[in-house]
Structures are given as structure tokens and as C-alpha cells.
Amino acid sequence: MPPDAGAAAHFRALESLYAAAPINGLFESRLEIVESGVARIAFSIEPRHYHAGDAAHGTSYFKMLDDAAFYACNSLVTDRFLLTTAFNLLFTRPLKAGPVVAEGRWVSGQRRVFVGEARLIDSDGEEAARGTGTFMRSSIPLAGLPGYGS
């Protein structure tokens, strides 16, 4: 079932917020809010993201897992920006250069604290990592953030 107009507008505004974040200038990536509680980030790993062992550094894993789970949860909150309060991740395969998708989904919570999870799928369709995070409502209004809704 397609989201109602208000939800769809919120999803597009979150996608704009993601694109406007300065950190995303370091990663070629695109956020898509698929539906309430579900977010997907398509990105590319490049050799510039590698550690000395010739594979992607863990910062790339963390950033994309955290963002996918975060936006899945923030898709349920229309007035406030959420903040990550904890995030646990499990590395299962090294990532090499190529396309990767981070799939995030809301798991529980609807008031103050939200739980989300995410996984990274490499170009072979294999899971490279998974993570679970907790996210808390902040006092930061979404409407006041650069990029939200523009």
C-alpha cells in the first residue's frame, strides 16, 4: 500500500536531509525511504575507503548500517530528529570495491526510544555485516534542519 501524501512528503524530506548532510560528501550514496520503518541506502565502496589490509575500513560499515537503521526509525517520527544512543555491529565478510546496499528497518519503540536494525548486502548478494541500534528523540526539530524538505 503506498504511503499517504503526508508520509510520502516526510520520506522525501528525510531523503533530502540525508543528501544535505556534509558527511555524505565523502560517500557516493543515495537514501530511499521505502515505506514507514524501512530505509535503503545504495552506495559504492571505492579503494579510497580501504584500510591497510586492502578491504573497506569499518567506518564505512558503521556509517551505512547506522544511517539505514536510523532513517528507518526516523521515518516514524515527523517532528523531531533522532539521535543514535548505541549501535552494535557484526562484520561477516570483507567489502571490496563495488556497489553495496544497506537495508534498515524499525524493530520496536514508538515513543522516546526506537530500536532499528540493518544489514549490508554486497554485489554478490551476500550479507557483509549487520547491526542493531537504539535511537532517541532529541529536542531538535526536523523542520529547522538544513535540507529537510528542500
Q: What is the pLDDT of residues 40-75, one digit of tens each?
A: 999 999 999 999 999 999 999 999 999 999 999 999
Q: Is residue 5 predicted with pLDDT exceeding 90?
A: no
Tell me the three cell numbers of residue 113.
526510544
Q: Is residue 80 predicted with pLDDT exceeding 70?
A: yes
Residue of higher predicted confidence among 110 and 20: 20
Cα–Cα distance measured from residue 60 to residue 120, given in angstroms and rounded to the nearest whole number? 10
Contact at 8 Å (CB) between 94 and 128? yes
Contact at 8 Å (CB) between 116 and 107? yes
* pLDDT at residue 150 in the model: 64
Stretch 8-32: mean pLDDT: 95
Q: Is residue 1 predicted with pLDDT exceeding 60?
A: no
pLDDT tens column, 99-143:
999 999 999 998 899 999 999 999 999 999 999 999 999 999 999
Residue 47, sorted as left (phi over 0), alpha (psi -120 to 50) or beta, turns out to be alpha
* pLDDT at residue 2 in the model: 56
Mean pLDDT of the chain: 95
